Chains A and B, each alone.
Chain A
């Protein structure tokens, strides 16, 4: 029975482990100490979410049109080199981007948001471009042959068909974003990084975890939210989540 469903075995084990962990943490006073940071957590979590939402929101509103523009025939010549640049940009470590941003804009929230924004643009623009480029030429020919203008084709055919790939880009981008937000603390941007880094510096693991656990939880929640939005907005006919083949 158990062997037949490895998934159940996994969940069962996980439950037991969590229960034991719970017992242990309670016994060691971990929870009490953790709750001691409750005020900090809610305050910093707010900042954290704010950083993420502003930089992520800006990045989406900027990167999707950029991806779309690059996919237009008149940018065909610059599109591929631009993608190469974006790909290289993606390999620069996040910390380096933060440092560069700080040298440009000083310290505080603005450079933090800017750095996060830059880092979030890349996967979204790349996926938007690739998703639109992946729409088969014959489909576009059918659309043109039926008398759609370029704009009508973009909104009725190209974007709906690319939407799933675009959402995949947003998902990657936001998960990178949430994971990077703690670093914003290093340039005075605030957020849960404050607890994490201070905890490390003061060698207080519980303080560190008080920052790390909500960060991880937030990453999971954001991912789920994006997945849910994708599930609901990508047209059913091109939504692999809705019709698993």
Chain B
């Protein structure tokens, strides 16, 4: 389902004629009786930054390791650039990987680490030297070229690992939690650098991360994983605005969930009756459900409005009492206790310094949201 104007150029996944660069077809990986990756299918197009997003232990690394050839697939097929990868050894694949642990060669200098892959390709000495020094400048490690990995900080090691995996200009670069060891500020800077490098070199990236903000910033598309399965694939916008199910809604950003039953089911709207609200909830999009079906409605905190006055122009309005206030600088987040006892989170931007309405604990308030704000998600 696409909610944007599909332009095949920048969104090859919406172009039926586009051929995916990487195709993962029904891939399953079992360790003994334990299924680490379960029937995953995935298409990644040339020039994408595709993020695999999921909690720890959901099988992200295992999937990457199968793409690199370090693990055999139990069943299914992996096709890279039209070539079936079954039986292709890791050293023969046109892919490179940046490891979660960086995996730098401890006995080699930064320069030698980066040069290693080029030397294996049998490139002439002077070409190796040129490409290595280009890459060292790109990741700004000129001063550290002759240091060994243990003489570098975590951030510098991460850059060496990135440079080493990029220097061969692989068709497909896989990055396993590439920015995990960096602090927040450095991580944000590096994210933008990564995107720039990706654009300049035209390499296709598959990035693994458990950090949803990182996935939102970096990626052209995200595959959300849990328990070895991909539960939703889409652009950051699609994933955030139209989560396919409750897990995705919960995992990406914060969300209020109302459980209820469909009481009115039309082509362009549904009405849901919920015990958690006193009024019925109106959702301005159709669903493929039936009257009486149990559903959940997800509403993002920043799509809700909070006010002491009734909100006549909102489609859904509920009364409640403020239970908690969290001041976050650019916005405040209110926890509002509804009459049913349920708590909802409402985010309100702080546009002026003192705050336009001075809401505080115990205030009686109205919480409202538009018909388009909520989405019906499956359980």
> Are A and B bound to each other?
no
B-binding residues in A (CB < 8 A):
none
B→A interface (CB under 8 Å): none
